[in-house]
Amino acid sequence: MSARFYNRILFCLLVMAVVSPMLAQNAPFTFESFLDSAALTNQYAGATFANATVLSAGITLDEFEFPTHGGSNVVSDTGGPITISFLSPVRSFGGYFTYSVPLTVQALDSSNNVLASATSTFSNNEGLSGTSGSHPNEFLTVASSAGISRIVITGTAQGTSFTMDDALVITRCDLNRDGQTNAADAQAAIDEALGVRPGADDLTAEGTVNVVDAQIVINAVLGSGCSAK
């Protein structure tokens, strides 16, 4: 395939992405649409939660010790660490945490290998009884270009030890990491495939960035998810 023909194909795909009304956004998990005490499982498309319960300010949430980062709802660990499994691997995960014990956030691949981890700055950052110098809603994040399949957030083994609010997932197709997957990412993928810019986003792990990687990003822009499968 000549470079000129290759460029034409990619250009047509980019035009499709630009005119499409469906933009794949990396919207944060705010938990605001759920009722108090709801068990969070598969309500968010592409993500499955375990051991996560919604708490609402003024009802079951002690907002003096565990203030929300925004809105009135958070999630808390129930019966063990919160886990989040993704239908398609993601690039990064972050959230705002208030905790009564040291907290660990781990990113794992599909084989349960730890790709990255983050630990809380303090042993307790509750609003009233936190460690001196701490503050509620500490932002913790993990990232890996290898693709994160699962997040494990661990406080105590029994749970009921932290709250999480405004969690944000960045998909692997958000190449410029601006919180959105749109035409700018499609253009970046095309440039990498054509050699205009360094090929840093090999989504298929084939050792090179090519038209297949560009198509994956464009599919994500069109609302089909960021999947290399």
Which helix (H) or strand (E) segment is 151 a member of? strand 138-154
Distance CA 156, CA 162 (A): 9
Tell me the two tokens of residue 58: 């003024």
Q: Write out pLDDT tens, residues 163-181.
A: 999 999 887 777 777 767 7
* More reliable by pLDDT, 25 or 136: 136
Mapped onto helix, strand or coil, the DSSP state of residue 116 is: strand
Q: Residue 11 above 60 pLDDT?
A: no
Q: For residues 107 and 115, is the Cβ–Cβ distance under 8 A?
A: yes
pTM value is 0.77
- Taking each helix axis from N to C terminus, what angle separates 3-19 and 211-221, rounded to the nearest 10 degrees? 10
Cα(229)–Cα(225) distance, integer angstroms: 11
Tokens 């950052």 belong to which residue?
125
pLDDT of 218 reads: 84
- Judge whether residue 102 has pLDDT over 70: yes
- How far is it between the farthest Cα atoms of the chain? 66
pLDDT-based confidence at 8, cuts 50/70/90? low
pLDDT at residue 9, rounded to an integer: 56
| Domains (range + CATH), the chain | 3-24+180-221 (no CATH), 27-171 (2.60.120.200)
59: alpha, beta or left? (left if phi > 0; alpha if psi -120 to 50): alpha
Contacts of 227 (CB under 8 A, 6+ apart): 87, 88, 216, 219
Q: What percent of the chain has pLDDT over 70?
A: 86
* Mean pLDDT score, 185-214: 82
Q: What is the DSSP string of 59-100?
A: TTB-TTTS--SSSSEEEEEESS-EEEEEEEEEEEEEEEEEES
CB 211 within 8 A of CB 10: yes
Q: What is the pLDDT of residue 6?
A: 53
Mean pLDDT computed over 97-105: 98
Q: What local confidence, expressed as pLDDT, does residue 221 receive?
A: 80
**Whole-number pLDDT of residue 212:** 86
**Percent of the chain clearing pLDDT 90 (strictly above):** 55
Q: What value does the mean pLDDT take over residues 59-68?
A: 97
Q: Which of 196, 223, 94, 77 is nearest to 148 (CA)?
A: 94
> Residue 73's beta-bridge partner residues?
56
**Summary mean pLDDT of the chain:** 86
Average pLDDT rounded to a whole number, residues 84-110: 94
46-57 pLDDT, tens digit per residue, is 899 999 999 999
Is pLDDT of 44 > 70? yes
In one letter, which amino acid is 209? V
Q: Which of helix, strand or coil describes residue 187?
A: helix
Asked if pLDDT for residue 127 goes beyond 90, the answer is yes
